[in-house]
Each structure stands twice: as structure tokens, then as C-alpha cells.
Structure 1
Amino acid sequence: MRVLPLALVAALGLSTAPLALAAPDKEPDRAHLEVQAHASVDVTPDRATLTATLWEKTPPRTADDNEQGDALQQARQRLEQRTSQLLKSLDQTGLKRDRLQAGSVSVQTEWLGKRSSSGEDNDERRMRLSVERPITIDVQDLSRIPGIVDALFAAHVDRLDGIRYDVADRNSVEDRALQQALERAHEKAQLMAKTLGTHTGRVLSIQETNSPMFKPMMARVAAESDSSNASYNPGTISVDAGVIVDWALANNPR
């Protein structure tokens, strides 16, 4: 067995060891200024959505009544007739048909009476079926709302979910709220830096604390002695935005 000189072994060991990279000098902490700002934009709605529901119910019967199917078909026919009449009435208000959406027909089961103590249906417990259809109305001229509401009540709608006001161009309103939040953050940063005898440098980071949120509002209805004097006040919609901006500060005070 050949013995290698000790100096050679040491040299080989050094050559196979991983090279240690010199750690770069840590960048010294730089002064910075973090500012949080919020802005709110109020806008007047320019569109609205109304949702009404029509329904027809079958007479109460037992679940195994053979005439239940015929009663359901008759209820559906009555519902379709009422829906057609309502759409014609809405046409007379000046609404375009593409602004009216008649939803799908659905059937709900309603149980009448009480269950027995064992949890099973007793012979006296009866049921009826409810055939329902929603109508959604997109209103782009708010002055038409009183006439539309009158037409809905004249058609004896079974449920009216109220009026939801909105704005057609949401993006521009959200952009305006975000821009105002950023401008407010800039103003605050300049004021703080000036007060402390320095000035802001480049922007290090920008973060939204909350994205601009647009929430359609429900109508506030003020009715007088008769429905013809009812007023529908949409009020205003608020859109909020918030940001956090981090600025570098100048190394040397002014």
C-alpha cells in the first residue's frame, strides 16, 4: 500500500472542500416613511334593478292525490298568463324587452299541518305546490321607476324585493377612489417629511389596504297619501379605497 505524503493529503482535502463565499456587507438601514391613507368617493346612481316574483299555488291535497299533477299544470298555465300580462304592462312604460328578464320556473313544495310524534306524516297532513317565476328589470332611466312600480303592483306581484341602485361605469368610480387615496398618501408623506426637516425620495412599496368596493344600495321610499305621490330617493353611493405607501427618505436633511 502506497502512503501519500501528509502535505499532499492536506492539499487534496483543501481542493475538495466547498468554497466559502464571502458574505456581502449588509446594506445599512435607510430611513423610510410608511403612510396609510383612505379616500371615499360619493356618486349619484344612474341605474337600478328591480326584482319581483310571481307565483301560483295548487289547492292543498294529500301527497298521493292523483289530481296533483293536473293541479300543478293549471297553476303553471295561470302563472304564464300573469307573466305575459306583466311583461305587456312593462312594455307600456317604455322599457325595452332586452331590459326585462323572466327567470326560470321553479316548483316548491309546501307541507301543511303537523307531523306525528314519531316524525312521520299523518293522514291529516296535506301539501300544496307553489309554481314561481322571478322577473328582473334593469332600469337605465331612473325617471321610469314610479311607472314601473305602479305596473308591478297593478299586476299583483306576490313579492317585490325592492330597488337596488347602482352606477353603470363602476371602473371609473373605483379608479377615482383609488387615485384620491394615493394622492392623500402623498400629501401626508410630504407634510410629515417637511415637518421633520427632510424630504421624500423614491417609492419603495405600494399596498392596497382594501380594494375599492362598490355596494349597490337599496331605495329609500317616501310615500305620501297616495301612490302617485310616492318619491324614490336614490341618495348617493360611497366607494372606499385605502393604500399604504412606503417612501425612502433623503439621507441628508434639508
Structure 2
Amino acid sequence: MFGLKAAINGKCRIVAFGVMMACGAVVAGAVPNGVQAETVNGSTIQVSGQGRVNVAPDMAYIQVGVTHEAELANDALAGMSHAIASVLDQLDAVGIAKSDIQTGQVQLHPQYSNSSLSGREQSGFVATTMLNVQVLDLADLGHVLDAVVAQGANRLGGLRFDVQDRAPHLDHARLAAVEDAQSKAAFFANAAGVEIGDVIHLIEDGVASPSGRAIRMAMESAVPIAEGEIEISAGVVMVLAID
């Protein structure tokens, strides 16, 4: 029943939807992340659990930058440097700490134009630089974006929401993952007609970075920002004794 497949002749190995029951030993290769399960006396069941929590973000990571074109490489770099200096000054003016700003990339490459007569020809150079910026007050995010664009930023490379203190939310996700694993173990043990015993192994199996979905729009800022919620998830693998 329940899609379970049971072996006979005393070799009680039951597998269903990521759940494993075995007699005499835990199968070492079934435990993820290179962790080897120890041999145990008696029968065991191995299950995985997932936990997720959705929380409102309280910070954001943004990428802003400058691209400048010129006929000469030095002029392209000089124009880019002047513009990014203005952007940095504006970030300081709106209250972004220097420790929350980091240069992410600096690039200089030739620019080409297509001519119907001579084909592809070099027409100059393009210099680009990007800044990784942490905005710790989401109420300021739209104004920050508007301010840096007004001071010469002409590239926006990304926007990601997060929480400044992930630890308590991650603990809630871990607790939910353990409860999910225990629920699965109880269900499949009941289906197989066995009793759950003590936990033999409990292994964390991956923590996912926050991912977001937009549900709320802050329209009062110069640039409308959908803050939404972010999802924090955790996984566990649990091995329990069965009787």
C-alpha cells in the first residue's frame, strides 16, 4: 500500500519517495554531503524533511554603475571615473556607509561600428564600473536609486532583498524541516506496520539563499519598489530506529 515496495526473506528494505528502511545497517551512500552513516544494530528508517518560512525583508542589495564611451581609452576611463566619483559622493550624501559599498567590476573594451563599405571598424572604447551597495533601510531604497541616477549612474545591474538577521528565521525553517521529517517517518512506519524508535542521525542537508516574491509596492519613493517577502528554507536528513 501507499506505493511501498518491500523485499522478503527477512531482508526488510523498504523504499518510497526518498524514504529508506533497512535492517542491520544504514546504507552509507544514502546520506548526502559526503557524510557516512555509522553501522547500527537493528532496523532503521531514513527520511528527509524540508522547512520554509516567509519573512518581510528589511534590507536590499543593489548594483549600480557607470558606462562611458570615448574615442580614446584614457578618455573613456577618465569619464567613467568622474561619473562614478559623483555617484559615490551621492551615496554618502543619502547616508550609505562606506562599509556598505564595494566596487564589483571595472571593464574597458573596444567599441566597434558596422560600415557597409569596410565592414566592422573600431570606433572607440567603452569603460564600465559597477558598485555593489547594501541599503539597510528599505524606506530609502527608491530615493537612493533616483539619487544615483541623477548623479550619472546609467547602469542598474540587479536588486535583491534580504534580512539583516537571518539566524532566527533560519532556526524556524530548521525546526519545520525536523517536524516534516518526523511526520514522514511516522507516516511510512505506520504504513509498514513498524514502530518508530530513537533518532540515530540528524544531518542538515542544505540551506537555501533567500528568494523573493513581490506582494507590496512602495509608491511614495521616486522609483517604485516592490518589497514583497523572501523565503528562507532548510533541509534535514534523519535516520531513526524502528521496531
Q: TM-score, normalised by structure 2?
A: 0.68
Partners of 2:211 and 2:231 within 8 A in 1: no
Which structure carries more strand by proportion? 2
Which structure carries more helix by proportion? 1
Work out whether 1:132 is the aligned partner of 2:128. yes
**Post-superposition offset of 1:171:** 4.3
Work out whether 1:240 is the aligned partner of 2:233. yes
Q: For 1:86 and 1:151, how far apart are their aligned partners in 2? A: 8
Partners of 2:24 and 2:43 within 8 A in 1: no
Work out whether 1:89 is the aligned partner of 2:90. yes
Cα RMSD after superposing both structures: 3.5
Partners of 2:49 and 2:181 within 8 A in 1: yes
Partners of 2:87 and 2:152 within 8 A in 1: no
The residue type equivalent to 1:47 in the other structure is: M
Q: Which moved more, 1:30-39 or 1:193-202?
A: 193-202
Q: Choose which of 146, 149, 156 in structure 2 pairs with 1:153.
A: 149
Work out whether 1:37 is the aligned partner of 2:30. no
The residue type equivalent to 1:143 in the other structure is: A
For residues 171-222 of structure 1, give each alpha carbon's deviation from its aligned partner in whole angstroms, at most 9, with x where no partner exists: 44334322221122224434665687764222233455x4121145487895
**Post-superposition offset of 1:93:** 1.3
Aligned residues: 206
Work out whether 1:55 is the aligned partner of 2:50. no
Q: Secondary structure at the match of 1:181?
A: helix
Q: Which moved more, 1:93-102 or 1:137-146?
A: 93-102
For residues 29-60 of structure 1, give each alpha carbon's deviation from its aligned partner in whole angstroms, at most 9, with x where no partner exists: 8444443332211122222111112021113x
Q: For 1:190 and 1:86, how far apart are their aligned partners in 2? A: 58
Q: Which contiguous aligned blocks of 4+ residues in structure 1 show a shift greater than 6 angstroms?
A: 26-29, 194-197, 218-221
Q: For 1:116-131, list aligned pairs within 5 A.
A: 122=118, 125-131=121-127
Identical residues among aligned pairs (%): 24
For residues 55-85 of structure 1, give each alpha carbon's deviation from its aligned partner in whole angstroms, at most 9, with x where no partner exists: 21113xxxxxxxxxxx332332222221222
The residue type equivalent to 1:77 in the other structure is: A
Q: For 1:221 and 1:27, how far apart are their aligned partners in 2? A: 54
Work out whether 1:204 is the aligned partner of 2:200. yes
The residue type equivalent to 2:180 in the other structure is: R
Residue in structure 1 matched with residue 74 of structure 2 by the alignment: 73
Q: Which has the higher contact order (CA 8 A, sep 6+)?
A: 1
Q: Which moved more, 1:193-202 or 1:37-46?
A: 193-202
Q: 1:110 to 1:46 in 2, by over 3 A?
A: same
Residue in structure 2 matched with residue 214 of structure 1 by the alignment: 209
Q: For 1:223 and 1:234, how far apart are their aligned partners in 2? A: 7
Q: For 2:93 and 2:223, how far apart are their aligned partners in 1? A: 20
Partners of 1:107 and 1:132 within 8 A in 2: yes
Any stretches of 5+ residues in structure 2 without a counterpart? 1-22, 26-40
Q: Choose which of 148, 159, 165 in structure 2 pairs with 1:169.
A: 165
For residues 121-178 of structure 1, give each alpha carbon's deviation from its aligned partner in whole angstroms, at most 9, with x where no partner exists: x587233111112122111111110110111221242211232112223444334322
Q: Which moved more, 1:128-137 or 1:198-207?
A: 198-207
